Chain A
């Protein structure tokens, strides 16, 4: 019954989204009555229904109802509770259901809380949101029904991919989806503004909190995904330039650019057409990401099923929405009035530079991600594009971007004098130069990119707190704090990346029990190796005792796990976190003569990467709270300090 109820709720929600689109479009036509209250109500009810449908799916997974195809194919009665719950979206259909659920929830949030937007623009926005939803409802109902029954019911489920059996599954996909789909709100706002021909500062102020919220979730999702890959895969890397990772990075890059251009539009009423364009691009990147991950065109842990029909369906949706939005943009861009002009040396100028560089990085990542697919489609040739390409092509531009980030916040709005600006940035530059000198003199053999990274991280870290200089800290607006914290987070993450890349020590050996291995400052003794068992796996577990200098030793227990359903082996790394880095250990295969392969890394300050990511998200949150509070207090007036 639960499955049928879930399916019925799904159908009803789809019907309501059609109604939302129709009512919204009808309201916009001249001569029709105002039905905006109805549109808002429909958006809320639609979200409630799809929410119920999603809860039904979760309930089916919790009960392991094996008469439902999806549950039988992806779950198992012996799985721990958390993975039954999170397993609801650890598969293609469930994750698409989560996608539309988040989409509808975001639409309902706009309908409930958005009061600043002109009524017509709000209705157009909700109609655009419904139009997006409709496509994905169709996708679910016609090609990915999560509630399909299985007759006869299976006796036991096939289990969940062991790589996904991790607490990360409960957190990473929903967070990323909130980000992906949150971007759709920015897109719908842009469509609404184009339809009602009202692109201006008020539109930007209304859109900004939604962009910020989506961006916070994207940042958190990427950071969490990176750490998950780092500890779960056992390869010791934190970013692989895997197409699926790029699929989440591209919307982030576009949204970051949008976040900065929307500020120019809100504060100075400049960059009107560009901001609307960026909103379209950002959502297009979300769609491309969804396509890459969900179509099964890529083989990875994220591609749950390879089904050409689904791939084609998403590709058609992708072409339809992006093409439609670009057409609308092309038709209406002529009516977008020229915004305010500005001087090159000004905050606006710096933000334009930020946007150009972010777009360049986005272009490089996009080309590298799609190139293998295009080559394969065109010539049938197989090739892969990996870290060498992305690091050489995107690395230098990203560093330039970070350098620009140091200077931008120190410039004044409207017009600044180059000499005065140079005075403000002098101290951080001096600090960076000093760091460069020290590193070159005392740390021999440092490669160019990590060297630049460390130096820049220091300079940018100093420059990013400079806007607080000589301010009364207690009276500094929260959104200025947000900017400072987010920029500091970038510097912190950069320091972690550079340090990891420059100072990591690695050891790969075949060791006997009793052997001691040195890696970096650590001495690691191989104490024993034993069989252990968990609820749905068995494993061999090594016991390693690690010590540094005269410190007390501690135990690391890396495992090689064998899962029974489906039969898969995974490697569970054991990681010890210290203030100055992480010791990472993996156990490999026995060599047949009593030796075991052991792989050890000492990664100084690697944790700064994720700490930085968390700081960036925290900065976004501060800015969001600051903006919303300020708008509550004194409504239309706004000044950026």
Chain B
């Protein structure tokens, strides 16, 4: 191989590798990036079934229920609209998680609208803030069983 050719081949290989990686990355991102939904968004845009997403809002007062197994909870998330999301979570919730306080949950919607969370992130800020403004402020994470 001539010197110039080898340089060219290497360059093409390098560009192909990085481009390939970026293309792979973009396609994986399309499938795997978790978008954020507030209850109002879900009502407007419909429920993305079976996809990993994040939801957020406030834990509605009086909606928190504990299952008899002691480790599963159910609650409703509200925002400034009339809509609500029902959430189920099995795991240890963060310390800041309580009714009337902000929450972000990662998980998937089931048919029927129930959101099964894999992880709960409670916000340090106890004042209500619409999640569109600042859903990630001071999150505290807690993971659940698969």
**Contact residues of A with B, CB < 8 Å?**
233, 235-237, 274, 299, 338, 341-342, 352, 355-357, 359-361, 363-364, 367-368, 371-372, 381-386, 388-389, 392-393, 397, 506, 508-510, 568-569, 571, 586, 588-589, 591, 595, 597, 599
SS class, residues of chain A in contact with chain B: mixed
**Does B47 have its Cβ within 8 Å of any Cβ on chain A?**
no
SS class, residues of chain B in contact with chain A: mixed
Bound-state CA distance A508–B71 (Å) is 7
Q: A338, B3: Cβ atoms under 8 Å?
A: yes
The 8 Å CB contact of A363, one of B4, B21, B69, B142, is B21
The 8 Å CB contact of B92, one of A274, A360, A392, A508, is A508
The 8 Å CB contact of A392, one of B3, B6, B28, B142, is B28
Q: A589, B93: Cβ atoms under 8 Å?
A: yes
Q: B28, A235: Cβ atoms under 8 Å?
A: no
Chain B residues positioned under 8 Å from A356 (CB to CB): 13-14, 17
Chain A residues positioned under 8 Å from B4 (CB to CB): 338
What would 13 A/B residue contacts be, using CB atoms closer than 8 Å?
A360-B18, A363-B18, A382-B132, A383-B35, A386-B32, A386-B34, A393-B21, A397-B24, A508-B71, A508-B91, A508-B145, A509-B69, A510-B69
Chain B residues positioned under 8 Å from A397 (CB to CB): 21, 24
Chain B residues positioned under 8 Å from A392 (CB to CB): 28, 31-32
Chain B residues positioned under 8 Å from A571 (CB to CB): 92
B76-84, B109-117, B133-141: which lies at the interface: B133-141
Q: B24, A364: Cβ atoms under 8 Å?
A: yes
Chain A residues positioned under 8 Å from B33 (CB to CB): 371-372, 383-385, 389
B93 CB to closest chain A CB (Å) equals 7
**Does B95 have its Cβ within 8 Å of any Cβ on chain A?**
yes
The 8 Å CB contact of A359, one of B17, B32, B69, is B17
The 8 Å CB contact of B28, one of A372, A384, A393, is A393
Q: Determine which residue in B24, B34, B92, B139 has the highest number of CB atoms from chain A within 10 A of its CB, and name it.
A: B92
The 8 Å CB contact of B70, one of A233, A360, A591, is A591
Chain A residues positioned under 8 Å from B66 (CB to CB): 591
Q: A360, B21: Cβ atoms under 8 Å?
A: yes
* Contact A599 to B92, CB < 8 A, known contacts A235-B143, A591-B70: yes
Contact with A along B15-44 (1 / 0, CB 8 A): 001101110111011011111100000000
Bound-state CA distance A381–B131 (Å) is 11
Chain A residues positioned under 8 Å from B18 (CB to CB): 359-360, 363
A41 CB to closest chain B CB (Å) equals 41
Q: A510, B3: Cβ atoms under 8 Å?
A: no
Closest-by-CB residue of A relative to B95 is A569
Q: A382, B24: Cβ atoms under 8 Å?
A: no
Bound-state CA distance A352–B10 (Å) is 9
* Contact A393 to B25, CB < 8 A, known contacts A382-B35, A384-B33, A385-B34: yes
* Contact A383 to B36, CB < 8 A, known contacts A341-B6, A361-B21, A510-B69: yes
A539 CB to closest chain B CB (Å) equals 13
Closest-by-CB residue of A relative to B135 is A382
Q: B29, A359: Cβ atoms under 8 Å?
A: no
Chain B residues positioned under 8 Å from A389 (CB to CB): 25, 28-29, 31-33
* Contact A381 to B36, CB < 8 A, known contacts A274-B10, A357-B17, A397-B21: yes
Closest-by-CB residue of A relative to B18 is A363
A330 CB to closest chain B CB (Å) equals 14
Closest-by-CB residue of A relative to B94 is A569
**Does B52 have its Cβ within 8 Å of any Cβ on chain A?**
yes
Chain B residues positioned under 8 Å from A393 (CB to CB): 21, 24-25, 28, 32
Bound-state CA distance A235–B144 (Å) is 9
Q: A367-B21, A589-B92 are in contact. List 15 more A-B contacts (CB 8 A).
A: A235-B142, A236-B143, A299-B139, A338-B7, A364-B22, A371-B29, A385-B34, A386-B32, A388-B32, A388-B52, A389-B31, A508-B90, A588-B92, A597-B70, A597-B71
Within 55-106 of B, Cβ neighbours of A (below 8 Å) are at 66, 69-71, 90-93, 95, 106
B3 CB to closest chain A CB (Å) equals 5
Chain B residues positioned under 8 Å from A381 (CB to CB): 35-36
A288 CB to closest chain B CB (Å) equals 16
Bound-state CA distance A381–B132 (Å) is 9
**Contact residues of B with A, CB < 8 Å?**
1, 3-4, 6-7, 10, 13-14, 17-18, 20-22, 24-26, 28-29, 31-36, 52, 54, 66, 69-71, 90-93, 95, 106, 132, 135-139, 141-145
Chain A residues positioned under 8 Å from B137 (CB to CB): 299
Q: A367, B143: Cβ atoms under 8 Å?
A: no
B133 CB to closest chain A CB (Å) equals 10
Closest-by-CB residue of B relative to A596 is B70
Chain B residues positioned under 8 Å from A360 (CB to CB): 17-18, 20-21
Closest-by-CB residue of A relative to B5 is A341
The 8 lowest CB-CB distance pairs between A and B, nearest first, are A510-B70, A588-B92, A360-B21, A389-B32, A363-B21, A382-B36, A393-B28, A367-B25
B137 CB to closest chain A CB (Å) equals 6
The 8 Å CB contact of B32, one of A233, A235, A236, A385, is A385
Q: A368, B25: Cβ atoms under 8 Å?
A: yes
Bound-state CA distance A247–B51 (Å) is 27
* Contact A386 to B70, CB < 8 A, known contacts A392-B28, A393-B28: no
Bound-state CA distance A314–B10 (Å) is 34
The 8 Å CB contact of B26, one of A367, A372, A510, A569, is A367
Closest-by-CB residue of A relative to B91 is A508
Chain B residues positioned under 8 Å from A597 (CB to CB): 70-71, 92
Bound-state CA distance A564–B26 (Å) is 45
The 8 Å CB contact of B25, one of A233, A364, A586, A595, is A364
Closest-by-CB residue of A relative to B145 is A508
* Contact A299 to B69, CB < 8 A, known contacts A371-B29, A508-B90: no
Bound-state CA distance A87–B69 (Å) is 42
Bound-state CA distance A383–B34 (Å) is 5
* Contact A382 to B29, CB < 8 A, known contacts A508-B92, A586-B92, A589-B92: no
Chain B residues positioned under 8 Å from A371 (CB to CB): 29, 33
Bound-state CA distance A236–B146 (Å) is 13
Bound-state CA distance A509–B28 (Å) is 35
Q: A367, B22: Cβ atoms under 8 Å?
A: yes
Chain B residues positioned under 8 Å from A383 (CB to CB): 33-36, 54
Bound-state CA distance A235–B24 (Å) is 30
Chain A residues positioned under 8 Å from B92 (CB to CB): 508, 571, 586, 588-589, 597, 599
A280 CB to closest chain B CB (Å) equals 14
B27 CB to closest chain A CB (Å) equals 8
B10 CB to closest chain A CB (Å) equals 7
Q: B21, A510: Cβ atoms under 8 Å?
A: no
Q: A363, B6: Cβ atoms under 8 Å?
A: no
Bound-state CA distance A381–B70 (Å) is 36
Bound-state CA distance A352–B28 (Å) is 26
